Structure formats: C-alpha cells, structure tokens
C-alpha cells in the first residue's frame, strides 16, 4: 500500500511538471511569434531594400555619365585652347 501511494505521488509530481513545462513552452512559442519577423516580413523588407538600392544605383550611374560627359567637354575645350 505504501509503495502504491509513493508511486502515485511520484506520478502526480511528474504529471504536474509536464503540465508546467507544456505551459512554459506554449508561452515561449507565443513570445517567439510576436518578437521575430516571419518569412513574409523578411520578403517585404527585402523588396523595400531592393527598391532603395536600385534607385541609388541609377543615381550613381547618372552621376558617372555626367562626370564622363563633363570630362569630354573639358578635353575638347583644352584642345581648342591649345
């Protein structure tokens, strides 16, 4: 009889621990879902970043062309003055 009560007590303790851990894991999962970006969030951010980078790239290309055009003009002017 005594061993049955002790066994029941131990089983009860283990069951309580499992239930407690299950609650903690559920809480952690909820925290993770609310604190971290999802794949969709990352895809949206990626598109926004690419849009900005492309615009900057086009601006740099235009500036590079402007420098080349000015350089050509300067060379022509130097030739005319020489």
The pLDDT assigned to 48 comes to: 92
- 37 phi/psi in degrees, rounded to 5: -70, 145
Q: How many CA atoms lie within 13 A of 49 on its CB side?
A: 6
53-59-65-67 Cα dihedral, nearest 10 degrees: -110
What is the DSSP-derived secondary structure letter of residue 47?
H
Tell me what the mean pLDDT of segment 19-26 comes to: 88
Q: Which two tokens stand for residue 22?
A: 């299950």
- Is the confidence at residue 15, as pLDDT, over 70? yes
The pLDDT assigned to 26 comes to: 85
pLDDT band of residue 2 (cuts 50, 70, 90) is low
The pLDDT assigned to 30 comes to: 80
Return d(Cα 33, Cα 67) in angstroms, integer: 50
The pLDDT assigned to 6 comes to: 84
pTM attached to this predicted model:
0.42
Q: Where are the domains of the chain?
A: 1-36, 37-82
Tell me what the mean pLDDT of segment 51-78 comes to: 87
Distances in Å between the alpha carbon of 69 and those of 1, 25, 39, 62? 100, 64, 45, 10
């Amino acid at each position: 009889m005594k061993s049955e009560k002790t066994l029941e007590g131990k089983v009860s303790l283990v069951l309580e621990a499992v239930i407690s851990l299950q609650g903690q894991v559920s809480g952690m999962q909820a925290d993770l879902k609310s604190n971290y970006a999802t794949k969709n969030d990352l895809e949206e951010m990626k598109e926004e970043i690419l849009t900005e980078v492309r615009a900057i790239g086009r601006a740099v290309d235009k500036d590079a062309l402007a420098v080349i055009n000015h350089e050509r003009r300067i060379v022509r002017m130097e030739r005319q003055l020489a």
